[in-house]
Amino acid sequence: MNTEAMDSVGELRHVKDQATDAIANEVLNFAEIAKAWWQRNAELVRDTAGAARDQAVAFGSRTRLYVKDEPVKSVVLAAAAGAALTALLMFLAKRPR
């Protein structure tokens, strides 16, 4: 191999090493950004989940009270909802794909 070819190989190795270092640095930067984002938003996610849980509990309580106060209406509403859901599923099952 001549000197010029060896210099080219050495230069390619140097460029490869630089690219590898640049990629590693970018991966580390991305990891830091992702970690910071998660830390900022983890509290928001916890708060949102807690609020959703509280709303579900309140909805369940209101539903139980409604069923206790209006048992006939509750059965009729449940039957209507079931019929509507069944009709929708049957429609979707027969629809050509």
What are the tens digits of pLDDT across the range 11-55? 888 888 899 989 999 999 999 999 998 888 888 889 999 999 999
Question: Exposure pattern of 71-97 as b/e (b: 16+ CB <10 Å)?
Answer: eeeeeeeeeeeeeeeeeeeeeeeeeee
Q: What is the pTM of this model?
A: 0.45
> Which segment of 3-7, 12-16, 32-36, 58-62 scores lowest on mean pLDDT?
3-7
Give the number of residues written for the chain: 97
Question: Alpha helices of the chain — where are they, by DSSP H?
Answer: 3-69, 71-94
